[in-house]
Amino acid sequence: MNNWIKKMWKDNKSLLVFLSLMLVFRSAVADWNEVPTGSMKPTIIEGDRIFINKMAYDIRIPFTHVSLMKMSDPQRNDIIIFDSVVSDKRLVKRVIGLPGDVISMKDNRVSINGKQLSYQHAAVNGSVIDIHENLSGNTHTVRTNSAGSQLSNFPEVKVPEGHYLVLGDNRDNSADSRVIGFVPREEIIGRSSSVVMSLDYENYYIPRSDRFFQTL
């Protein structure tokens, strides 16, 4: 057995080293993440593969959440990827509330520290309404339902230290902080700012070339 292992190592050393380095790179430096749900529509859609900068906030020990060095903290409007203990899933959401912020929502309109964000209608398609939301000077589009939902409103809550309030852009169809609570800083693994590639799940997984390398 030992001779067989030695032979395998000798014959495949370069490949094994390459694979090991690639796994370390994807764990600690950069990776991509498949998005299987529509909770971030219309910004991110089902079938998108988004780029993850895993060094945006921390330099971590590979294959762990242990931070060796903090690079920065998440900022309002960042699209973050985090391993949610509560939901037992890797999730993608937008940062709305920072530690110490007081956040509320009424009829899908967010208020931060007593001031409502600026909104403008973008498009209406039946019961689906797309709205431009201005968050810290950055405008993105959120999706709502004309009838609203149980997620459309919540009273003022204060974001605790070391935590963040996150929302999906598909406001009436997203299991975000309104469902799973505040996101601990240590669960956040990276930030995304672009789509790498996209496959159309409803059309034989044909690539959506218009979404390749699209900025979020």
Which residues are catalytic, by number?
A: 39, 93
φ, ψ dihedrals at 105, nearest 5°: -140, 135
The DSSP symbol for 159 reads P
d(CA 28, CA 56): 10
d(CA 6, CA 187): 39
The DSSP symbol for 182 reads P
SS3 content of the chain, % helix, strand, coil (to 5): 15, 45, 40
d(CA 201, CA 206): 8
Hey, how many other C-beta atoms are within 10 angstroms of the C-beta on 120?
10
Of the CA atoms within 13 Å of residue 212, those in its CB half-sphere come to 5
d(CA 68, CA 75): 20
Q: Quick check: 148 and 173 in contact, CB under 8 A?
A: no
